[in-house]
A and B are shown apart, each in its own frame.
Chain A
């Protein structure tokens, strides 16, 4: 596709449910990021993939959060036993190149808005 696609756009979960959020990056993009954006705040880094390798997961808030990109293209962010504080917009971004310099430009998806009741 022409851009980064995320699904679902909106997800309502009951506390304790597991959720899975999908990201389809631009075809051929090597780098993939996940961000979390709380209401009124800027996006915060969660995790980074270079192809299928998860090189940085330092931003994942707890072990309930898990991300994968098994074939180096589509990625899934999974949240187990959701809590109310997990309510946020989850953004995916991708880039042609590896993260080797500050010149790298990211293309973001529209995000998945998660509401935990």
Chain B
């Protein structure tokens, strides 16, 4: 799976939007972009995924650059419960599943 680059940490205020960036310049045509998050003492939780078009769901939005070399996870109105490590992952399928990096540690200030 191709590599992704994310900031180690980000800080935001409660009730404000949060934009989490991810660079993936070596993405291949069949790679999907996935985002998972991991709250303290829990397993990773699926957030959203996409291939080429922007995606929205109840948790977040995913904005994918036209050249697909970067993407942004958007939390529209952060709450304290959104404080977690957010992982951006590329996968084209395969038996080795998802390859996690270190992710971005999101801190939400009240």
Complex: A108 Cα to B49 Cα, angstroms: 16
Give the residue name and chain of the A residue nearest to B28 (CB): A102
Q: A91 vs B98: C-alpha distance in the bound complex, in angstroms? A: 13
Q: Does A45 contact B (CB under 8 A)?
A: yes
Residue contact B43 to A44, C-beta cutoff 8 Å? no
Q: Mark B8-23, 1 if CB is under 8 A from A, else 0.
A: 0000000000000000
Q: How many chain B residues touch A (Cβ–Cβ < 8 Å)?
A: 28
Q: Would you call B43 and A100 a contact (CB within 8 A)?
A: no
In the complex, whether A84 has a CB less than 8 A from a CB of chain B is: no
Taken together as a complex, chains A and B put the C-alpha atoms of A99 and B43 apart, in Å, by 20
Instruction: Report chain A residues within 8 Å CB of B101.
Output: 42
Please name all residues of chain B whose beta carbon is closer than 8 Å to the beta carbon of A25 when the two chains form the complex. Answer: none
Determine the residue in chain A with the shortest Cβ distance to B99. A45
> Majority SS of interface residues in chain B?
loop
Taking a contact as CB atoms under 8 Å apart, the answer to whether B96 and A56 are in contact is yes
Nearest Cβ in chain A — how far from B81, in angstroms? 16
Instruction: Flag if A104 contacts B93 (CB, 8 Å).
Output: yes
Q: Is the interface of A mostly helix, strand, loop or mixed?
A: loop
Partner of A110, one of B30, B42, B46, B85: B42
Give the distance in Å from the alpha carbon of A100 to the alpha carbon of B92 in the complex: 8
- Give the B-binding residues of A (Cβ under 8 A): 4, 33, 35, 41-45, 48, 50, 55-56, 58-59, 91, 93, 99-111
Q: Which 6 A-B pairs have the closest CB atoms?
A: A42-B100, A108-B43, A102-B32, A56-B95, A102-B91, A101-B93
Apart from A102-B93, A108-B45: 20 A-B pairs, beta carbons within 8 A? A33-B97, A42-B85, A42-B102, A48-B97, A58-B96, A100-B93, A101-B30, A101-B93, A102-B31, A102-B91, A103-B93, A104-B93, A105-B34, A105-B46, A106-B97, A108-B44, A109-B43, A110-B42, A111-B42, A111-B43
